């Protein structure tokens, strides 16, 4: 009788798949969340860079969105940059926007420069440790157009 029970227990493998799945599930979920969060980080970096480029261009050619009374307006430019970032679903605080209407870029003078800072927050910070950090920055330059005669 005991011999029959031992052979039965050796052949019974009905729960093996469930145990294997339970062992593999956690690393698989961590990998999936890591890939998703790293993708969000890269997307946010690119969106921040695009907002900086749009702001520098707006300053350089003095678009109506960045000018007031025919001249450069830092308030209008900051508002424009925040609006562009909002289109990418990013909220950039006013304190994290740095504008320079007469910057030196690449050894040349006469550029408009925008620098943005952003703190990226992960949805799953305890599970996923992001390489590249949580503090993102973006800088862009655009040549100032000379005033029309």
Write out pLDDT tens, residues 81-113.
999 999 999 999 999 999 999 999 999 999 999
Domain-embedded: residue 9? no
pTM: 0.80
Tell me which DSSP letter residue 96 carries.
G
Query: What is d(CA 78, CA 97) in angstroms, rounded to the nearest whole number?
Result: 7
Domain-embedded: residue 4? no
Domain-embedded: residue 6? no
Q: Which residue range(s) make up the domain with 85?
A: 15-143
Only one residue has tokens 């799953």, namely 124
Domain-embedded: residue 51? yes
Domain-embedded: residue 107? yes
Domain-embedded: residue 10? no
Distance of CA 134 to the CA centre of its chain: 9
Contact between 44 and 135 (Cβ < 8 Å): no
Domain-embedded: residue 29? yes
Predicted confidence (pLDDT) at residue 57 exceeds the cutoff of 60: yes
| Count of domains for the chain | 1
Predicted confidence (pLDDT) at residue 68 exceeds the cutoff of 90: no
Query: What is d(CA 2, CA 102) in angstroms, rounded to the nearest whole number?
Result: 91
Domain-embedded: residue 8? no
């Amino acid at each position: 009788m005991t011999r029959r029970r031992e052979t039965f227990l050796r052949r019974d493998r009905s729960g093996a798949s469930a145990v294997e799945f339970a062992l593999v599930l956690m690393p698989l979920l961590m990998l999936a969340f890591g890939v998703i969060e790293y993708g969000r980080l890269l997307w946010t970096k690119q969106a921040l860079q695009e907002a900086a480029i749009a702001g520098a261009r707006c300053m350089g050619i003095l678009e109506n969105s960045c000018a007031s009374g025919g001249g450069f307006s830092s308030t209008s430019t900051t508002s424009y940059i925040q609006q562009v970032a909002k289109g990418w679903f990013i909220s950039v605080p006013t304190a994290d926007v740095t504008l320079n209407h007469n910057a030196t870029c690449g050894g040349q003078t006469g550029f408009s420069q925008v620098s943005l800072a952003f703190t990226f927050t992960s949805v799953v910070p305890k599970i996923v440790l992001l390489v590249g950090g949580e503090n993102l920055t973006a800088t862009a330059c655009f040549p100032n157009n000379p005033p029309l005669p």
